[in-house]
Amino acid sequence: MRSRFDEQLSLLNKKMIGMGAECESIIALSAKALLEGNVANARKVKEQGHTIDQMEREIEAICLKLLLQQQPVAKDLRVISAALKMITDMERIGDQAEDIAEIITFLNGKTGEECHDIRLMAEATIKMVTDSIDAYVNQDLKLAKSVFDHDDIVDDAFDRVKQTLIKLIAENTANGEYALDLLMIAKYFERIGDHAVNIAEWVEFSVTGIHKGE
CATH number of 2-208: 1.20.58.220
Strand, helix or coil at 213? coil
Domain-by-domain residue ranges, the chain?
A: 2-208
**pTM metric for this prediction:** 0.93
Alpha helices (H) in the chain, listed in sequence order:
2-36, 39-69, 74-104, 116-138, 141-171, 176-208
Q: Convert the pLDDT of each residue in 88-135 to its tens digit.
A: 999 999 999 999 999 999 998 999 888 999 999 999 999 999 999 999
By C-alpha distance, which of 94, 92, 116, 95 is closest to 182? 116
By C-alpha distance, which of 99, 98, 108 is closest to 178? 108
When pLDDT is cut at 50, 70 and 90, the band that residue 213 belongs to is: low
d(CA 96, CA 159): 19
Is the per-residue pLDDT at 51 higher than 90? Answer: yes
d(CA 45, CA 151): 24
Q: What is the pLDDT of residue 6?
A: 83
